[in-house]
Amino acid sequence: MCNLQYHSVPGKMIFKSKYPDIKIPQAGIYQYVTSNPNKIPDEKVIYVDGVTGRSYTFGEFKHETKKFAAGLQDKLEFKRGDVLAIFSPNQVDYPIVLLGTIAAGGKVTTANPIYETTKLSYQLIDSGVSVLIVHPEILEAAIEASIDAKIPASKVLLFGDKEVKGYKPYRSVLINDRVIEPIYYTPEEAKSTIAYLFYSSGTTGKRKGIEITHTNMVVRLAQVNSMECNLGRHNIIMAVLPLCNGWGSRILHKILMLGATAIIHSNFSVETICESIQTFKINRIYITPPIILNLINDPSAQQFDLSSVNKIVCAGALLSDQSERKFYNIFKILISQIYGLTESGGITTFPDTMKNTVPVIISLNSSVGILIPNIKKILSNDCHELGCNEPEELWIHGLNIMKSYLNNKVATDAAIDKDGFLIQEILYTLMNKGFHVAPSELESILLTHAAVSDAAVIGYYSEKDATELPTAYVTIKNGYKQSRALAEEIQSFVDENVLPYKRLRGILFIDRIPKNASGKILRKLLKESLKNDMKK
């Protein structure tokens, strides 16, 4: 039975969630996440450092964020609407700075800790940052970038408790006795006021600042919370993903709403993850596909007791059915997948396929899902049944949609139509003699080969054939050697499982598949590499 209501319009089909629309809270994001609907006691531990054990209770979190906000105003002349950047790997103080800035009436932009100076400089300048909070381990890049962005050294502060090269810890400068009441927003102000500036990965050109309003974030949290009503203060959660991206940030907010406990790590090694699960009895994990593959491929993971985990939520890229089933066969843990964009937040959930309870709806890259409340969608292909060609565009409408791209009206107008629909490419496809070939399908098959640990399929344009030919980059597991014979074996393995037009026209070995922080394959980089590799 279909789990969506849909209505035909000329040339398009508008889908709406089967779930009734939820009431949207009329509040700023700080007020919403600290509204305490679950009646969390102030002494409940909310955030825990997975290595040191350092923690914040719900009461300590509220007190520290209000002191941080007061310090910004008193010491750094931080005003409503000013922008603060966080440049740091995951750590337990991250949410204090994130929501302390919001309490002060500011905007937050989060920078990926792997950025080198040029990328960081661009983001600081583009977003108009006036204060930078940085982890000491990546201070050098931050110093150079802050000079480029003309941020005074007095406004570059550190996480931790030690002064480094004259740069002081934010706690020694900002945290004093005074607290403030967080800035209050009317419903109209919440709809128009920017809270977060997340940046696109830049896989399709210049990186863009994505403006997320207070209402955008409130709606996203309310939507997801309505779908995960079994979560609460009893949950111990680990987010195995960077807190600097939109999904990671949203989970930090969700923890506060639920009154759950979050174990925060910066190290995502198999050993660290498994030790944390065993030690803290973690029962819910938010994760990306590359980590799932690492757990599958590393035999040491099976030596830990992971029985406390009752669910894993995976996002950032598509996890193949084969990988999901292989993971379940090894660990007996169900995986739910969600699909979303930084511009729109989570929009679709992919329920546990192992339970075989997935409704029949439009195919999305060989997976199916349920729209969350208060969202409408349009598929660019007018197809009405499972098995049709996967759509190349997804149009989304709802209050979860970003306000705009920062200082980029051209990109905004191209992304959001006059009716307020966000138009996004959801699937990378290549064309082989007029047929659509979904790289994810071929990648899923490649990952089932005994020698392959990771794979990426892209198209190589053949002048001779006047079409794109599917070509794969693969990384191989320890114990196997790169050779022509192995490449031919892998290629034959795929060819036996696909239609003729989907057959691979080449296998290339690579040490690591390039991906962004959320696990999405950087196909643009691989296409550049392929041009050179094909000349050899």
Each of the 536 residues of the chain gets a pLDDT tens digit; together they read 234 444 444 456 788 888 889 998 999 999 999 999 889 999 999 999 998 899 999 999 999 999 999 999 999 999 999 999 999 999 999 999 999 999 999 999 999 998 999 999 999 999 999 999 999 999 999 999 999 999 999 999 999 999 999 999 999 999 999 999 999 999 999 999 999 999 986 544 578 999 999 999 999 999 988 887 788 999 999 999 899 988 899 999 999 999 999 999 998 999 999 999 999 999 999 998 888 988 998 999 999 999 999 999 988 766 777 788 899 999 999 998 888 888 998 777 766 544 433 322 223 333 346 788 998 887 654 443 333 334 456 788 999 999 999 999 999 998 999 989 998 755 455 555 545 577 877 898 999 999 999 999 988 777 666 567 889 999 999 999 999 999 999 999 999 888 777 889 899 999 999 987 667 788 888 988 888 777 66
Going from the C-alpha of 138 to that of each of 95, 135, 172, 198, 446, the distances in angstroms are 19, 6, 20, 20, 37
Give the domain-ending residue among 139, 155, 184: 184
The answer to whether 397 and 389 have CB atoms below 8 angstroms apart is no
Tell me whether residue 464 is in a domain: yes
Considering the domain boundaries, does residue 290 fall inside one?
no
pLDDT confidence of residue 265: 93
Boundary (domain end) residue, out of 136, 157, 184? 184
For residue 460, what pLDDT is reported?
78
Beta strands 45-49 and 55-57, pairing class: antiparallel
* Separation CA 148–CA 427 (nearest Å): 37
* 30 domain-assigned: no
CATH number of the CATH domain containing 494 = 3.30.300.30
- Residue 355 pLDDT: 42
In a domain, 197, yes or no: no
Q: 142 near 120, Cβ under 8 Å?
A: yes
pLDDT value for 199: 93
Burial class (CB within 10 angstroms; exposed 0-12, middle 13-18, buried 19+) of 40: buried
Judge contact between 254 and 243, C-beta under 8 A. no
**Helix axis angle, 246-258 to 214-227, nearest 10°:** 70
Asked if the structure places residue 167 within a domain, the reply is yes
What are the φ/ψ torsions at residue 262 (nearest 5 degrees)? -110, 130
Q: Where does a domain end: 184, 201, 219? A: 184
CATH code of the domain covering residue 82: 3.40.50.980
Domain enclosing residue 85, as ranges: 58-184
Residue 54 vs residues 40, 48, 115, 160, 226: alpha-carbon distances, Å: 20, 6, 27, 12, 31
* Distance, CA of 12 to chain centre: 29
CA distance 253 to 246: 11
Closest by alpha carbon to 406, among 218, 217, 207, 190? 207
In a domain, 508, yes or no: yes
Q: Is residue 190 part of a domain?
A: no
Specify the pLDDT at position 498: 81
Asked, for residue 360, whether it belongs to a domain, the answer is: no
Cβ distance 103 to 30 under 8 Å?
A: yes
Instruction: Say if residue 385 is exposed, middle or buried (CB neighbours under 10 Å; 0-12, 13-18, 19+).
Output: exposed
How many domains does the chain divide into? 2
Q: Report how far residue 421's alpha carbon sits from residue 423's, in angstroms, rounded to the nearest whole number.
A: 6
Strand partners, 237: 262, 284
